[in-house]
Amino acid sequence: MSKVKYYYDSETLSYRKIERKKRTTLKYAAVFLLASALFGFIFVFIASQYFESPKEKALVRELQNMQLQYDLLDKKMDEAEEVLANVAERDNAIYRLYFGANPIPDEQRRAGFGGINRYKDLEGYDNSKLIIETNKRIDIIQKQIVVQSKSLDEIKVLAAEKEKFLATIPAIQPVKNEDLTRMASGYGYRTDPFTKVRKFHYGMDFTAPRGTPIYAAGDGVVVRADGSATGYGKHIRIDHGFGYVSLYAHLYKYNVRLNQKVKRGDLIGFVGSTGRSEAPHLHYEIFKDDVRINPINFYYGNLSPAEFAVLLEKASLENQSLD
């Protein structure tokens, strides 16, 4: 029960009861409620600065996890860019150079994407700049991978062609050293054994006994095996592809037939002295694009450096040929 308060009325010389007006009561109540609300707001505001709600804590954890994931992604992109840079360097400096292909410029490997704005949908967010830059890096890395993949596909084709080329071009001495009597005459000006006139000798003469085996200098197809060519007697021509043809003349007999495919080292015939020949020997020629070239440069497949040096010295002597 609330206390009743009185005041002394000097006019009536008596105590009168204090009666509170409703307006005043409402005024006090309103002030109290307003003060309470203000205090509550200030309390909540101050508390929010020092204490996190469960929802805020969850959001903070989510942001921290996203930051961690981004840092990991950024690190992986750095590693991918480093690996791709190393592969690109080897690709240009080794693989493409070895197989005769032009290097791929860095501008082509790292070029961006022109035309329309590919990242328009990523604009308007708090972290739009970070998101767009990250997507650009990923796109460039993906393009580098595509460019490198196409380059390796090209290298694979070139390597297959190179392997085929190395297997087909003439690369061995057609008569084995142990079967040779001597290397009689080389490519260049020599004395004709019949006319004794100095003229150009377009092949190399390997002296060996009649019946000595002759081997294909490289993979190819036999395009001639006959005795109708002037001066060559029985002879064989093998088309090796890539513009190379090898010729084996003055044979005793054949061990191949027309259009037969042969491999390097296959036995194709035997040394003889048919045609315009002074003694049993093999006359050996190489054509490149229908032009006869020096066979001395095509023995790397079965001669050691020392053996090649001896052969080169003998082939350089200007002596009398055997045909």
**Amino acid at the residue 282:** L
The pLDDT value given to residue 135: 82
pTM of the model: 0.61
What residues have CB less than 8 Å from 255, skipping those under 6 apart? 267, 268, 269, 270
Nearest of 200, 117, 105, 170 to residue 303 by alpha carbon = 170
Query: At residue 251, does pLDDT exceed 80?
Result: yes
Please write the tens of the pLDDT for every residue from 217-232: 999 999 999 999 889 9
The pLDDT value given to residue 211: 95
Q: Do 88 and 146 contact (CB within 8 A), yes or no? A: no
The pLDDT value given to residue 321: 85
